[in-house]
Chain A
Amino acid sequence: MSSFYFVILGTKDNPLYEAEFGTFKQGGDGVSRFREEQRHMNQFIAHASLDIVEEIQWNNQSMYLKVVDKFYGVLVSCFLTAGNIKFLLLHEVKSEDAIRNFFTDVYDLYTKTLMNPFYSVNQTITSPIFDQRVKQVAKKYL
């Protein structure tokens, strides 16, 4: 059963939000099945892929950069917003369209967060409602 690790990074590569979830497809229950030692590897893999993101972001105008990196069967998909906020998703199965839809909906949620006058760019997102909505989006597409 495939699991996902999702992280939002700010303009200074600082983490803003982090989530883990499993697939809901094929009778999945949405609970991530990462082993304990895999957990910190996820953060490491996400961090390592940032160099590649920075390399391709100037030769590509689209926001969705598709799969940017691979590491022992773990794929890293990236979405860059106009304001240089990075969404990274670690996954095991390739499904471009589903992940695009997921990112687009999270972008919507992120923009809404930003509309809050008490939130400023690069601040961590602690809203439980944001968290809940991201999980709903994950349930819908992943």
Chain B
Amino acid sequence: MHRQSSETVRSTIVPFSPPASKHTSMSSLAQPPMSSSSSLRFPQNRKTIYDRHLNRSKTSELSKASFAFLFGEMVGYAQKRVAGIQDLEKKLNAHGYMVGQRLLELYSWREGRSAKRETRILGALQFLTTTVWTSLFNKAADALEKSREKEDEYMIADNEPVVNTYISIPKEMGTLNCAAFQAGVIEAVLDGCSFPCNVTAHSVVSEQFPQKTIFLIKFDQKVLDREAQLGAST
């Protein structure tokens, strides 16, 4: 009984389908580019992400206030969903990571024909402290240092991190540094260049620069191995 009813349903569909398919093929002839994407939704001005340009002129800079507001909201949002300071920093790091993955390709693209891939640790770090820093914050990083004790650790210092400009840390969360977001950006850029590493942000308070932050970069052992091998071959 049930089987029969399903058959009757199918038979009612079959005569209907040919005219329907004819109709779609006709409309696809009329609008060839949109034929396969009839279910896609377009913005009102019909401009997709592929119609926009990747270059930004100097005049279209972002206002610092709106960025600070957005960033503050982001920290607040993350804070509601975590148990402790470490978790919060991890979450901010993850947010930054997604930004960094995109920035790497975007800034490389903007360098145009002179763009190159970084194959050495120092080159990758310099790309970070100059290109990435200046594009993001309009200044170069304040220092780039190699750790004396440990072979795999590098440090980037920023005296006044832009992300922390309007952030004040409550006393009970003393060790928190919201520049963990920026650390995530760094991690993603280095990771993208295939220098897997772990980046953390640490506050180093001084009289002159109360917001001073050190980004501690710890590379994977295989990065160092590769570096040693490359150094030997060239």
Contact with A along B35-64 (1 / 0, CB 8 A): 011001000000011101010000000000
Question: What's the minimum C-beta distance from B207 to chain A, rounded to whole angstroms?
Answer: 39
Q: Which residue of B lies closest to A80 (CB)?
A: B117
Q: A residues within 8 A CB of B234?
A: 59
Interface string of B112-149 (1 = CB under 8 A from A): 00011111000000000000000000000000000000
B104:A82 contact, CB within 8 angstroms: yes
B28 on the A face (CB < 8 A): no
Whether A81 and B116, one on each chain, are in contact in the complex, defined by CB atoms closer than 8 angstroms, is: no
A57 near B49: Cβ-Cβ < 8 Å: no
Question: Across the interface, do A58 and B230 meet the contact criterion of CB distance under 8 Å?
Answer: yes
Question: Does B168 belong to the interface (CB within 8 Å)?
Answer: no
Which of A34-42, A68-76, A127-135 lies on the face that meets chain B?
A127-135
Contacts A108-B54, A129-B37, A132-B33 given; indicate if A81 touches B119 (C-beta within 8 A): no
Q: Is the CB of B117 within 8 A of A82?
A: yes
Q: Determine if A61 and B105 form an interchain contact, defined as CB atoms under 8 angstroms apart.
A: no
A-B contacts at CB below 8 angstroms, number? 81
Chain B residues positioned under 8 Å from A59 (CB to CB)? 119, 230, 233-234
From 115 to 132 in chain A, residues with beta carbon under 8 angstroms from any chain B beta carbon are 115-116, 120-121, 128-130, 132
Complex contact A110–B105 (CB within 8 A): yes
- B-side contacts of A115, CB under 8 Å: 49, 54, 102, 106
Do A121 and B101 touch (CB < 8 A)?
yes
Which residues in A have their C-beta under 8 angstroms from that of B52? Answer: 112
CB < 8 Å neighbour of B108 from A81, A112, A130: A81
Nearest Cβ distance between residue A115 and chain B, in whole angstroms? Answer: 6
A61-B119, A63-B115 given; A82·B50 CB < 8 A: no
The residues of B that contact A121 with a CB separation of less than 8 Å are: 101, 192
Given A63-B116, A108-B54, A129-B37, answer yes or no on A82-B102 (Cβ-Cβ < 8 Å): no
| B192 and A129 form a contact (CB under 8 A) | no
Per-residue 0/1 for A1-17: is the Cβ within 8 Å of any B Cβ (1 yes, 0 no)? 00000000001000000
Which residues of chain A have a CB within 8 Å of any CB of chain B? 11, 57-63, 80-85, 107-116, 120-121, 128-130, 132-133
